Chain A
């Protein structure tokens, strides 16, 4: 793959004389991409520099859980860099010709910063930075949520990136079409009658639509593992592949859910502002309530549960033999218990 990467960089970097790819190694990360880190030793006009880079590659289509476009992600990252102060990687371009890397891929800048965000909590070595980092993280999220959607939604491709009929022309249309997506997806995900709680969740969400807020670009996987930090600042917000137009409370709800599962405490900071939500409300004036967060935890969990359960069903129906999709039954059992809590099932664990 080193040769293909070097040729790719030649094409996308423009006026370079020589490129050598070094230290290519796979790393965990991303919602469902295959990710590699490497350095590119680039010679330009006789001057050599080393570019720290990441290759994000689609998995084989049979193994894909969430089909997203690297070209759209590339354009989004570049739009964010051009129009906001949100720290994100530079993207060098998408390679949609699958003959190059085997699947569609993109190369992005490997950002500076620490990825072990768990060190910010529970007495970790960087616990003293937690307040400052979460304050900045909140400010970054607020900037994302208050940036004019059209500025970042290049070509409208993030209005319905999964191509499932989402109508983002208004908040009501967005919510209604998303409910329709959840409910109509059910036959494609009910690998077992036990999945009926997801049907209940989709219908319950539809029956209890909350008050509207302005649509915005949501990160789509805003969780305690998806940012880098250093010296009290967020140095990068990462993993944008599930980004789309949505309700800003989706990112908050997902963070609450993942904060609990990760045993982190993002939502408790900055303490002097009364926590993440209070600071977010102070900056945006959105006055998001804890009840609304509960709603959007369920809404956001469904957003992930639909493609995951659909992947399980394709495996159960023997459309392919990917082992990962069978293994997903195990974490899914934990998710179904979480659904009982979120829906307030009688007898659900507290």
Chain B
């Protein structure tokens, strides 16, 4: 997957594109309002994505605690409804916590660093390949390892963006 531009960069580009390349040419007020609402939704998505996974897990883990704590408050209460609350606390409320997701920016940086390392290795291998002989053959083999790693990635990226209407003219 590309880290540059990442998801945020793509969404930002669409927001800017709507503003710069569509809105100035819309003469219909309703269309202008729709375009502005599209920008607003996309901007919201940009803001949601960075915190979405962490918020989901945080809320999941907090809800199990909440169910259990609420049930404890009903310790002296009897009846069908109180039993139901306790039952939830002792079933779904006992689920294990999910671990906090890794920091996305940190993962992106680590991914980019490794990508740049492979890139630099291709350059170094080329120098050895041009020397020929046994070192050249070894470098050929090393390049084949890198290529074998990359091939399925390019195919996966392509397939990810060509599904459905993801690629103009291919839907």
Given contacts A203-B122, A207-B130, contact A336 B157 (CB under 8 A): yes
* Cα separation A315 to B119 with both chains bound (whole Å): 21
Give, as a whole number of angstroms, the nearest-CB distance from A327 to chain B: 8
A323: nearest residue on chain B (CB-CB)?
Answer: B17
Task: Provide the B46-87 mask, 1 if CB < 8 A to any CB of A, else 0.
Answer: 000000000000000000000000000000000000000000
Task: Provide the A109-134 mask, 1 if CB < 8 A to any CB of B, else 0.
Answer: 00000000000000000000000000
* Cα separation A199 to B114 with both chains bound (whole Å): 16
* Cα separation A333 to B157 with both chains bound (whole Å): 7
- How many B residues, CB 8 Å from partner? 41
Chain A residues whose C-beta falls within 8 Å of the C-beta of B119 in the assembled complex:
190, 193, 196, 199
* Cα separation A349 to B158 with both chains bound (whole Å): 12
Binding site for A on B (CB under 8 A): 1-5, 9-10, 13-14, 16-17, 20-21, 112, 114-116, 118-119, 122-123, 126, 129-130, 143-144, 147-148, 150-155, 157-158, 161-162, 166-168
Give, as a whole number of angstroms, the nearest-CB distance from B21 to chain A: 5
Binding site for B on A (CB under 8 A): 190-194, 196-197, 199-200, 203, 206-207, 315-316, 321, 323, 326-327, 329-331, 333-334, 336-337, 339-340, 343, 345-349
Chain B residues whose C-beta falls within 8 Å of the C-beta of A340 in the assembled complex:
147, 150-151, 154-155
Determine which of A323, A334, A347 lies in contact with B152 in the assembled complex, contact meaning CB atoms within 8 Å.
A347
* Cα separation A191 to B2 with both chains bound (whole Å): 9
- Docked-complex contact B150 and A329, CB < 8 angstroms: no
Give, as a whole number of angstroms, the nearest-CB distance from B160 to chain A: 8
- Docked-complex contact A199 and B123, CB < 8 angstroms: yes
Determine which of A199, A321, A336 lies in contact with B158 in the assembled complex, contact meaning CB atoms within 8 Å.
A336
The residue in A196, A330, A349 that gathers the most chain B C-beta atoms within 10 A of its C-beta is A196
Chain B residues whose C-beta falls within 8 Å of the C-beta of A203 in the assembled complex:
122-123, 126
Given contacts A193-B116, A323-B20, A330-B161, contact A336 B154 (CB under 8 A): yes
Give, as a whole number of angstroms, the nearest-CB distance from B154 to chain A: 5
The residue in B2, B16, B148, B168 that gathers the most chain A C-beta atoms within 10 A of its C-beta is B2
Given contacts A190-B119, A329-B2, A337-B158, contact A197 B150 (CB under 8 A): yes
- Docked-complex contact B118 and A346, CB < 8 angstroms: no
A347: nearest residue on chain B (CB-CB)?
Answer: B151
- Docked-complex contact B150 and A345, CB < 8 angstroms: yes
* Cα separation A191 to B115 with both chains bound (whole Å): 12
- Docked-complex contact B151 and A194, CB < 8 angstroms: no
Determine which of B16, B129, B150, B168 lies in contact with A321 in the assembled complex, contact meaning CB atoms within 8 Å.
B16
- Docked-complex contact A346 and B148, CB < 8 angstroms: yes
Question: Which 10 A-B residue pairings sit nearest by Cβ, starting from the closest?
Answer: A193-B115, A323-B17, A345-B151, A326-B13, A346-B148, A196-B119, A203-B126, A347-B151, A345-B147, A192-B4
Give, as a whole number of angstroms, the nearest-CB distance from B126 to chain A: 4
Give, as a whole number of angstroms, the nearest-CB distance from B1 to chain A: 8
A191: nearest residue on chain B (CB-CB)?
Answer: B4
Chain B residues whose C-beta falls within 8 Å of the C-beta of A191 in the assembled complex:
2, 4-5
Give, as a whole number of angstroms, the nearest-CB distance from B158 to chain A: 5
